[in-house]
């Protein structure tokens, strides 16, 4: 799902995609159970049908029910989602986003993670 396709997703469709990326695959009932302020079951089914048509999700039959899954791997959509997040919430500033993330996690970073961050900074310096 590239950035063009991301813009075609409604708020509810994004919620469904988030659920599917986290769970890997779910039935419509399971998706509805995990949605905040969930719409009716028939609305979830209608959204999934629309998303199938757009190519955002696939499905397979499991007995009498369908199991839905994202059609693209999480890694292929991660950059697009991150770019959207940085643009929307950090005014396009990567340093502001990184600062916020480190600030939120500073007490949880272990020495190996800090060393990796230092290495990334050093590599960035060398590219300048």
CATH code, domain with 38:
1.10.10.10
Q: Are residues 32 and 61 in the same domain?
A: yes
Q: Which of 70, 90, 110 is the last residue of a domain?
A: 70
Q: Are residues 111 and 86 in the same domain?
A: yes
Q: Are residues 111 and 93 in the same domain?
A: yes
Q: Which of 25, 40, 70 is the last residue of a domain?
A: 70
Q: What is the pLDDT of residue 3?
A: 42
Q: Which of 70, 88, 116 is the last residue of a domain?
A: 70
Tell me which of 69 and 10 has the higher pLDDT.
69
78-126 pLDDT tens trace: 887 888 889 999 999 989 998 998 888 878 888 998 899 899 999 999 9
Nearest by Cα to 102 from 114, 91, 92, 90: 114
User: DSSP secondary-structure letter at 22?
Assistant: H
Nearest by Cα to 19 from 83, 27, 3: 27
Cα dist from 71 to 28, 38, 49, 125, whole Å:
16, 23, 14, 37
Q: What is the pLDDT of residue 85?
A: 87
Domain carrying residue 23: 3-70
The number of distinct structural domains making up the chain is 2
What pTM was estimated for this model as a whole? 0.67
Q: Are residues 92 and 56 in the same domain?
A: no
Q: What is the pLDDT of residue 1?
A: 39
Q: What is the pLDDT of residue 103?
A: 87
* 77-82, long-range: CB < 8 A, 24+ apart: 77/1, 77/2, 77/6, 77/21, 80/1, 80/2, 80/3, 80/6, 81/6
29-71 pLDDT tens trace: 999 999 999 999 999 999 999 999 999 999 999 999 999 999 9
Q: Are residues 61 and 119 in the same domain?
A: no
Q: Are residues 66 and 80 in the same domain?
A: no
């Amino acid at each position: 799902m590239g950035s063009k396709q991301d813009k075609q997703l409604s708020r509810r469709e994004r919620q469904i995609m988030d659920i599917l990326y986290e769970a890997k695959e779910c039935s419509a009932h399971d998706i509805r159970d995990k949605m905040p302020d969930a719409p009716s079951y028939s609305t979830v089914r209608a959204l999934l049908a629309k998303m199938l048509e757009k190519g955002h999700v696939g499905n397979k039959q499991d007995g009498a029910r369908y199991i839905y899954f994202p059609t693209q791997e999480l890694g292929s959509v991660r950059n697009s989602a991150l770019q959207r997040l940085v643009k929307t919430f950090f005014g396009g500033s990567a340093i502001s986003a990184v600062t916020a993330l480190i600030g939120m996690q500073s007490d949880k970073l272990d020495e190996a993670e800090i060393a990796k961050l230092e290495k990334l900074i050093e590599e960035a310096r060398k590219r300048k």
